[in-house]
Amino acid sequence: MAATASVRRKPSLYAAERRLALLMLAPAAILLLVFLLIPFFMAFGLSLTNQRLISPNPTEIIGLANYRELLDLRFIPLEPRLDPATNQPLRDSNGNLVYPTVREVLRANPETRFFRELAQLDFFGTRYLIAAGDATFWRALFNTFTFALIVVPLQTSFALMLAMLVNQKLPAMNFFRTVYFSPVVTTMAIVSVLWFFMYNPDFGLINSLLGLIGLGPYRWLEDPHSALFAIIILSIWQGVGFQMVIFLAGLQEIPQELYEAAQIDGAGRWQQFVNVTLPSLRNTTIFVVISTTILAFKLFVQVDVMTFGTGGPFDSTVTTILHLVNQGYRQQRVGYASAISVIFVLIVLAISILQRRVLTNQEN
């Protein structure tokens, strides 16, 4: 009798716990649902339409046309121009084959009417034109990945270096900690405007300093080869203080005895760093790497402010988010921008899963 009673009570106990669990889960779950899941599905829905920001025309469902434009890449073999008289390939004064212009080739086919050139390459004697339905999108992906691949390792290492620097027991350390952290609490838009002036080729602080050691002047933001690099430097400068503080907290958690034991074992400074500091900071590093990666993929404000929203010169600084905002807001193509956002979410999701896999494998 007692047994059955307890059996009967058990599920109700679970139910109470479950109710409590659901209750405590509710705020986060509702927020995630309202601000993440529902918008994502709405974006997916919109990406199948030609929805405009403002338009008197009715919205039409256009299937996967937005994705087709976004992802369409064509490899088009280029035929050299023929001499109408001899029917032989035309050659210029240097003896090189003469090709029709890219625009002529693309406009000849109504399907590729609005495509743009991504690259040209010679392959087994034939020249190929790589054209994209949205060349800016591919450039944006390339820039975003370049940015992340450079910024994540650099910013993480700098942050660790700074953290070790300000972790020393020297006078005025709090002053330096504050100084290195101050860019983080400054609004990115303001930082961008300041650096915009510092990068001025003729009057900027950076070229003036480089001029002292006989370098430059460089056209930082005007030259397509250096513009993204210039934005990388400013982004690291602005963001590094945040990771520094997290590393600093991690460093202060490491028990002093570990270092003492290592010293007794005859470990030098470098060996202490590799064998004590780094392993002890494992979890901190994981957090820093993941958060920096996510921030890197969200690159937008700096580029928007410093290039007046163009992502220029010549798409050299355009990023996925900037392209999304430009398409959805400034060109009013909401449906198309939704397609970009869906693809972007899938890419970031894939990277997050990959990172998780790699990190948990390490743990095992």
Residues lying near another protein in the complex (CB under 8 A):
50, 52-57, 103, 114, 116, 200-203, 219, 222-223, 307-310, 312-314, 329-333
Q: How far is the CB of 158 from another protein (least distance, A)?
A: 29
Contact 288, 250 (CB under 8 A): no
The residue among 177 and 219 lying less far from another protein, judged by its C-beta, is: 219
The residue among 191 and 246 lying less far from another protein, judged by its C-beta, is: 191
How is residue 275 written in tokens?
């064998």
Q: How far is the CB of 84 from another protein (least distance, A)?
A: 24
Exposed/middle/buried for residue 314 (C-beta within 10 Å: 0-12, 13-18, 19+): exposed
The residue among 330 and 356 lying less far from another protein, judged by its C-beta, is: 330
Residue 302 to residue 205: CA distance in whole angstroms: 18
Q: How far is the CB of 216 from another protein (least distance, A)?
A: 13
Closest listed residue to residue 194, CA positions, set 257, 127, 33, 186: 186
Residue 189 to residue 192: CA distance in whole angstroms: 5
Residue 221 to residue 200: CA distance in whole angstroms: 8
Q: How far is the CB of 306 from another protein (least distance, A)?
A: 9
Contact 319, 299 (CB under 8 A): yes
Closest listed residue to residue 324, CA positions, set 309, 346, 313: 309
Q: Residue 218 phi/psi, 5° resolution?
A: -100, 145
| Pairing of the two strands 126-132 and 116-123 | antiparallel
Q: How far is the CB of 73 from another protein (least distance, A)?
A: 18
The residue among 72 and 223 lying less far from another protein, judged by its C-beta, is: 223
Q: Provide the 10 A C-beta neighbour count for residue 39.
A: 14
The residue among 92 and 202 lying less far from another protein, judged by its C-beta, is: 202
The residue among 313 and 355 lying less far from another protein, judged by its C-beta, is: 313
Q: How far is the CB of 322 from another protein (least distance, A)?
A: 13
At 165, the amino acid letter reads L
Contact 250, 280 (CB under 8 A): yes
How is residue 238 written in tokens?
């602005």
Q: How far is the CB of 200 from another protein (least distance, A)?
A: 5
The residue among 35 and 308 lying less far from another protein, judged by its C-beta, is: 308
